[in-house]
Amino acid sequence: MGEVVFFQHTLATNVEKRLPAIAAYLGDYKKLIEIRNKGGEEEYIVLMKGDKEMFRDERKMRACIDNAFVFDGIVQQFGSFNEYILSFDPWNDENDYENLDRLLEDLDRRFVRFGAISPMHFLVHYGFPVIKPDSNIMRTFYRIGLTKSEKDYIGSVKAARRMAEATGVMVNSIDTFVTLGMKKGNEVCGKEPKCGLCDMQDLCRYCRQSQNEPT
Q: Which residue from 166, 42, 33 is spatially nearest to 158, judged by alpha carbons?
A: 166
d(CA 128, CA 170): 9
Name which of 102 and 151 has its Cβ closer to ligand SF4: 151
Provide the minimum distance between the beta carbon of 68 and ligand SF4 in the complex, in angstroms, as a whole number: 41
Name which of 130 and 198 has its Cβ closer to ligand SF4: 198
Name which of 103 and 137 has its Cβ closer to ligand SF4: 137
Name which of 140 and 172 has its Cβ closer to ligand SF4: 140
Q: Which residue from 134, 184, 183, 191 is spatially nearest to 157, judged by alpha carbons?
A: 134
Provide the minimum distance between the beta carbon of 131 and ligand SF4 in the complex, in angstroms, as a whole number: 16
Name which of 16 and 199 has its Cβ closer to ligand SF4: 199
Ramachandran area for residue 10 (φ above 0: left; ψ -120 to 50: alpha; else beta): beta
Provide the minimum distance between the beta carbon of 162 and ligand SF4 in the complex, in angstroms, as a whole number: 17
Read off φ and ψ for residue 89, nearest 5 degrees: 50, 50
Provide the minimum distance between the beta carbon of 196 and ligand SF4 in the complex, in angstroms, as a whole number: 8
Provide the minimum distance between the beta carbon of 163 and ligand SF4 in the complex, in angstroms, as a whole number: 14
1-14 burial: b if 16+ Cβ within 10 Å, else e: eeeeebeeeeeeee
Contact in structure between 179 and 136 (CB atoms under 8 Å): yes
Residue ranges binding ligand SF4 (CB under 6 A): 140, 143-144, 182, 188-189, 193-195, 198, 200-201, 204, 206-207
